[in-house]
Amino acid sequence: MSLVDEKPNINILMVTMSLQGHINPMLNFAKRLISKGVHVTIATTEDGRSSMLKNKDANSSEIKLEFFSDGLSIDFDRSDTKTLLNTIQEKGRKNLSNLITNLTKNQTFSCAIVNPFVPWAIDVIAEHEIPCALLWIQASACYSIYYRYFKNIDSFPKFDDPNEKVELPGLPLLEVRDLPSFILPSYPLHFKELLADLYKALDKVKWVLGASFYEIEEEIVKSMDSLTPIYPIGPLVPPFLLGEKEISDVNVDLWNAEDSCLEWLDNKPDSSVIYISFGSLVVLSKKQMNNIAITLKNSNKNFLWVVKPANNGGYEKEDAAYELPEEFLKETEGRGLVVKWCAQQKVLMHPAVACFISHCGWNSTLETLVNGVPVIGWPSWTDQPTNAKLIENVFKNGVKVKYGEDGVASVEEIERCIKDVMEGPNAAEIKKRAMEIKESARKALEEGGNSSKNLNQFISEINGLTQ
Ligand code: UDX
C-alpha cells in the first residue's frame, strides 16, 4: 500500500440529499479528507441550506458548500418520499448537472463521492467524465445483502413469512424480519427501486467505501472481496468521539439541541441513565410510547428521553406520539428528563449514560460503538432491523427488543431488555464487549489501522489518476 503524498493535489465533489442521517457521514468524511490535504466541495439540496449554513464546521472556509434544487418548493413536505424521489430523479438530476457544468468552468474534480440514496447522480457524474466513488453510509452487511439480492447472487425466500430464514455469507442466520426493510413487499416500492437503480449503476463506480470498520464486520467485508469489494474507512463519526481534543460540532443538526440535558447528566451518578432516542425519522405509536413510560416509571431508574414534536420532518403516522402525559412527567420528575432534541454524540460520551434504547440507525449505532455504550436495539425500518441483529449477534454490545404480534414491545419485554444490559453477568459481558469495540474503533483509524490504510489507498489512487 503506497503512502499518500505530502500535498496531494486532489479536488473532490460530494453529492448528497439534505437528510440528517445522510449529510452527517458525508461531512465527517469531508473533514477527514481535508485533514489529509484534499479540497472538498459538498453539493446538497436547497432544503438543507439554512441548517448547513448555521453549522460552523459545514460552513467553514475548508468545505465549499454548493446547493441545487431537488425540483420541489422549500416548504414541500418531503416525508412524501414517493414525490420527492420521482422529482429529484428528473429535475434534481438536471439541476445537479447544471451545477457541475458551472463549477467545472474554473476547476477540475479529481473524483466525486455520492451516497447510496442519489443513484441518479452517478449517471450525471459519468456524463461529466468525473471518476466516481460510492460512500456506503450504512453497515457493510446491508451493502452485501442488497448486492446479493439485486444482483441475484444468492437465493432469497419469498418474504411472506417473517420467520423464514436466509443464509448469507459472513452473516448469522437471518430471519426475514432481520433483512433491510426496503426489499420487503410490505414497504413502498419506490425505496426498492431506488436501491435497484444504485446496484445497476454500480458498474460506473470506481470505489465503494464504507462508513463502518473492518474490525466489527470482518467476515462480511471478506465475503464481498470476490464480488464488488467494499473498503471500510470508518467509523465515520466526528473526531472528538474518537478522543481528539477539539469538541466541534461537525454534524449538522436539523433541529436545535437542548444543551441543558448535559448539565442534567452532570448531576447523575456514573452509568445510571437510560438514554432513549429513535433518530430523526422514526416516531413511536401511542401504545408503544405508553409501554416505555410504564416501564420507566416502575423501574425507578434515571432516563433521558428524546421525544420529537409533530411536523419535524419525520414520517407522521395517525397514531403517532409526540408528547408524554403530564402525569408521567410529574411522577418521574428529578430522575427523568424529556427533551425534543439533544446533542446525542455528547450525551453518549457522558459517563452518566448506562445504555441506549435506540432505533439502530447506522449513525447512532456507530456513535454507541465508539463510546462503548450498551444498546437495546429497537428497530423500525430500512437498515435498522439488520443493525439490531448485528448488535445482538455479531457485535454483541447489546440486545434486541422482541415485538408482540401487534408489533409493540410489552412492558415485561422492555423490563427484560433493561435488566439484560444493566444488571448481572450478561450486562457485564455486554459492557466488556462494548469497551473492546470502542478500543478497536480507535485502532482502525490510527496510522497503520485498517480504515486508515484504506483511506490512504483511496487518496493515493485518486492522486495517481490526477498526475
Ligand atoms: C436515517 C435512517 O433512519 C437510518 O436507519 C439510516 O441508517 C441513516 O439514515 P436516522 O433515523 O436519522 O437516519 O438515524 P441515525 O442514522 O441514527 O442518525 C441520527 C443522527 O441524529 C445521529 O447522528 C444522532 O447523533 C443525531 N441525533 C439524534 C441528535 O443529534 N440528537 C437527537 O436527539 C437524536
Q: Whose CA is nearest to atom 6 of ligand 1?
A: 361
pLDDT mean over 254-273 = 91
Handedness of CA 74, 80, 81, 86 (dihedral sign): negative
Using the mean position of ligand 1's atoms as its centre, give its distance from the Cα of residue 376 in Å.
16
- Provide CB contacts within 8 A for 349, sequence distance 6+: 241, 371
What local confidence, expressed as pLDDT, does residue 248 receive? 55
What local confidence, expressed as pLDDT, does residue 174 receive? 96
Using the mean position of ligand 1's atoms as its centre, give its distance from the Cα of residue 237 in Å.
12
Q: 383 near 117, Cβ under 8 Å? A: no
Q: 270 near 282, Cβ under 8 Å? A: no
Q: Summarize pLDDT for 116-159 with one digit per residue, the tens.
A: 999 999 999 999 999 999 999 999 999 999 999 999 998 898 88
What local confidence, expressed as pLDDT, does residue 157 receive? 85
Q: Summarize pLDDT for 212-237 with one digit per residue, the tens.
A: 999 999 999 999 999 999 999 999 99
**Which ligand 1 atom is the nearest neighbour of the CA of 341?**
33
Q: Tell me the percentage of the chain whose pLDDT exceeds 90.
A: 79
Q: Can you give 382-419 as a three-state secondary structure string?
A: CCHHHHHHHHHHHHCCEEECCCCCCCCCCHHHHHHHHH
User: Residue 127: in which H helix or E strand, if any?
Assistant: helix 119-127
**Which ligand 1 atom is the nearest neighbour of the CA of 363?**
16
Choose one of 135, 236, 280, 390 to mutate for the ligand 1 pocket test, by most ligand atoms within 8 angstroms of C-beta.
280
* Cα–Cα distance measured from residue 106 to residue 121, given in angstroms and rounded to the nearest whole number: 21
Q: Whose CA is nearest to atom 27 of ligand 1?
A: 344
- Band of pLDDT at residue 300, cut at 50, 70 and 90: very high
Q: Which phi and psi (to 5°) does residue 24 adopt?
A: -60, -45
* Cα–Cα distance measured from residue 161 to residue 167, given in angstroms and rounded to the nearest whole number: 15
What local confidence, expressed as pLDDT, does residue 243 receive? 76
Instruction: Please tell me the pTM assigned to this model.
Output: 0.94
- Band of pLDDT at residue 2, cut at 50, 70 and 90: very low
Q: Summarize pLDDT for 327-376 with one digit per residue, the tens.
A: 999 999 999 999 999 999 999 999 999 999 999 999 999 999 999 999 99
Q: Summarize pLDDT for 199-212 with one digit per residue, the tens.
A: 999 999 999 999 99
Ligand 1 lining (C-beta closer than 6 Å): 20-21, 24, 138, 251, 253, 277, 279-282, 306, 341-345, 361-364, 367, 382-384
User: Residue 23: in which H helix or E strand, if any?
Assistant: helix 20-35
pLDDT mean over 174-194 = 94
Cell output for 115? 451516497
What local confidence, expressed as pLDDT, does residue 19 receive? 86
Segments of 148-195 assigned E as strands? 165-166, 174-175
Q: Summarize pLDDT for 420-462 with one digit per residue, the tens.
A: 999 999 999 999 999 999 999 999 999 999 999 999 999 999 9
Using the mean position of ligand 1's atoms as its centre, give its distance from the Cα of residue 284 in Å.
15
What local confidence, expressed as pLDDT, does residue 226 receive? 96
Burial class (CB in 10 A: 0-12, 13-18, 19+), 263: exposed
What local confidence, expressed as pLDDT, does residue 56 receive? 67
What is the distance, to the nearest Å, from the Cα of residue 414 to the centroid of all Cα atoms in its chain?
A: 24
